[in-house]
Amino acid sequence: MSTPDRKPILLDFEKPLAELESRIAQIRELAEENDVDVTEQIRHLDAKAVQLRQEIFSSLSAAQRLQVARHPRRPSTFDYIQAISDEWMELHGDRGGYDDPAVVGGVARLDGRPVMMLGQQKGRDTKDNITRNFGMASPGGYRKAMRLMEHANRFSMPILTFIDTPGAYAGLSAEELGQGEAIAYNLREMFRLDVPIICTVIGEGGSGGALGIGVGDRLMMFEHSVYTVATPEACAAILWRDAAKAHQAAEALKITAADLMGLGILDELLTEPIGGAHSDPLKAAEILKEAILRNLSELDQMSGQQRRELRYQKFRSIGVFAEVTA
C-alpha cells in the first residue's frame, strides 16, 4: 500500500468525529503533563468515538457515499494488487502504439495461483492525477485491458478487474481514436472468454468507462463505492440544468451498493472497515482477498461454457421488469 500523508483529509460529515478525537488527544496530553490518571474517562470517550463513527458511516446518504468513494486516500487498484498478491508483474501497451497510464494490469499470483489483475488507476495528488488522467481511460487503455484479458484466457488465468473511474475520457482525441468502439469491443469480447472473471468496484464506477472492464461472472462492490450510468453532477446538469442538485440526482440514480443489491445487479456487497476503506486499507484488502478466493472457488467448479452462459444470463436479466395491471 502507498504511504499516506499524515495530515487527515476530512469530509464534512466527519468533522464532529474529528472534534471528539481531537478533544481526546488534548485530554491525554494534559493528563501526561500533569501526571493525572484519566484512564476511565479516556476509555469512555474512546467508546463514544467508536459509537459516533459507526452511527455516521451506517447512515450515509448516496451523495455522502459518493464523497467517500472519491476520497483521495481511498485504496487504489495498485494498492489492492500490492496488498493481496504474492507477486505481480505489470504489463504495458495495447500493441497499437499506446500505453495508457489510466489503466494498469499484469500477471500476479494470488495464493500461489497465476491470475490477471487489471483496473483503472487514479492519482494520489494533482500531478499524479494529471499523469493518470484522473483514472479516465482512453481507447488505448481499453485495448490494453482487452489484450491482457485475451492473454489470460489463452493461458487459463482467472481475470480480476478493479473498477475506479468517473468515466471514460470524453475528449476529442479519444473520440477520434474510437472510444465508443473500444468499449463496445470489450463488452462483446468479455462475454466469450472461458476463464472466471470477477469484477469489483473499489471506488467510483462511472458509465461506459466502468463497463469497459465490468463484464464478469461476479460483480462485487465495496460498501461505500458507487456505480452509475452518469455522475450525479452530470445528471443534475442534464435534468435540472443545475449541477448543485447533484445530491438529489445521487438519490434518484440508485448508485450505492445497497441500491444495486436490491435491484439484483450486484452479486456481493463487501463491508468496509468502520470509517471507510481509507481508514484501514489493509483490512479492506483482506476483505477483498477473502471474497475473491471464495468466489473463484465457486467459479472453478464450472466449465468455460457454463461460465459464459452464466455471464450471458446475468446481463440479460438486468433491466427486466414486470407490468402490474390494476
Tell me the per-residue pLDDT of 179-202, one tens digit each, with 9 for 90 and over.
999 999 999 999 999 999 999 999
The pLDDT-based confidence of 54 (bands split at 50, 70, 90) is: confident
Does position 48 have pLDDT exceeding 70, yes or no? Answer: yes
Does position 4 have pLDDT exceeding 50, yes or no? Answer: no
Does position 58 have pLDDT exceeding 60, yes or no? Answer: yes
Give the model's pLDDT for residue 248: 93
First to last CA, the chain: 56
Which residue in 125, 147, 151, 121 sits closest to 135, CA to CA? 121
Mean per-residue pLDDT, 147-154: 97
Please give the Cα distance from 60 to 48 (Å, whole number).
19
Does position 266 have pLDDT exceeding 50, yes or no? Answer: yes
Tell me which of 25-29, 102-106, 255-259 is least confident. 25-29
Alpha-carbon dihedral sign for residues 272, 202, 306, 313: positive
Give the model's pLDDT for residue 52: 77
Give the model's pLDDT for residue 3: 47
Which residue in 200, 179, 296 sits closest to 257, CA to CA? 200
Please give the distance of CA 121 from its chain centroid, rounded to a whole number: 10
Give the model's pLDDT for residue 188: 96
Alpha helices in 218-275 (DSSP H): 232-239, 246-253, 257-262
Tell me which of 13-27, 237-251, 268-282, 312-326 is least confident. 13-27
Give the model's pLDDT for residue 35: 73
Does position 325 have pLDDT exceeding 80, yes or no? Answer: no
Would you call 133 helix, strand, or coil by DSSP? helix
pTM: 0.88
More confident residue, 223 or 19: 223
Which residue in 292, 305, 299 sits closest to 117, CA to CA? 292
Which residue in 266, 265, 283 sits closest to 274, CA to CA? 283
Give the model's pLDDT for residue 112: 93
Please give the Cα distance from 170 to 180 (Å, whole number).
10
Does position 18 have pLDDT exceeding 80, yes or no? Answer: no
Tell me the pLDDT of the chain averaged across its residues: 90
The pLDDT-based confidence of 6 (bands split at 50, 70, 90) is: low
CB within 8 Å of 243: residues ≥ 6 apart: 233, 236, 237
Please give the Cα distance from 53 to 225 (Å, whole number).
18
Would you call 114 helix, strand, or coil by DSSP? strand
